[in-house]
Amino acid sequence: MNKKRAQVTIFVIIAILIIAGIVGFFYVKNKTSLLTPTISKDVQPVYNFVQDCLKETGENALIRIGEQGGYFLIFDEPSIEGRIPYYLQGTQESIPSQQEIEQNLAGFVREELGFCILNFKDFKEDYKISHELKISEVEILENKVRFSLDYPLTITKGETTYQLKDFSVDILIRADKSIKISREVIAEQKLHPESICLSCLYDLGEKYRVHIDMLDYGNSTIFTIIDDNSKINNASYEWSFAIK
């Protein structure tokens, strides 16, 4: 009798495991489908084109923002020739927050994406496309930057009309590390304003696996963080700022 009960128990356990496996499979499948939109093959070329433009514009945004220490356009911020911002002048610190940097990246995309899209001129023979960029958002995440668009498209091909809306790409650039390093450089500089701690810069470079270059510019010093682990078009990613 106990043997029969044991066999029944084993069969019950096996049945539960099978059911759990089936439920888990469909959960993962449904979750993945929510993350990856299903695109009709008729408009897949248009979708891919926007994705490619978003990636290209995002990379250009990262290059510009890196060259200008987190800014898209430098207006009232103290800077060297309107190009490289001062993060520290004497005891006055002026470093953009991560949120400000994300907004500057998003602003670049809003301003420049149209120069890649070009009103979808390459698709005019096969499609009729109306479009309006509503929202551009950027998140600086660990070891990557995510660019997202709320970009409703109405696409007509023949007698059929399609709708596309959401686009997103992740660019594997360690902007988060550049921001952390620049803040640590300024924190150290505030402790020792009369000199530059070269060993501290070396230690930071070892810690984050980057090079930190310095350039004297009059009574200012320009720092450039060079990240060989992040590349755009085979060029190492750079982040520049200055102290005075």
Q: What integer pLDDT is reported at residue 16 of this predicted model?
A: 61
Say whether both 229 and 120 belong to one domain: no
Say whether both 184 and 161 belong to one domain: no
The model carries a pTM of 0.83
Q: What integer pLDDT is reported at residue 30 of this predicted model?
A: 44
Per DSSP, the three-state class of 207 is helix
Say whether both 235 and 162 belong to one domain: no
Per-block average pLDDT, block size 10, for the chain (244 residues)?
A: 53 58 48 55 96 98 98 91 94 94 98 97 95 96 98 96 97 98 96 90 96 95 97 97 96
Say whether both 130 and 53 belong to one domain: yes
Give me the domain span that covers residue 120: 44-75+96-171
Q: What integer pLDDT is reported at residue 35 of this predicted model?
A: 42
Neighbours of 216 (CB within 10 A): 8
Q: What integer pLDDT is reported at residue 209 of this predicted model?
A: 97
Q: What integer pLDDT is reported at residue 9 of this predicted model?
A: 60
Domain's final residue, options 171, 201, 222: 171
Q: What is the 3-state secondary structure (H, E, C) of 129-165?
A: EEECCCEEEEEEECCEEEEEEEEEEEEEECCEEEEEE
Nearest to 147 by CA among 129, 132, 167: 167
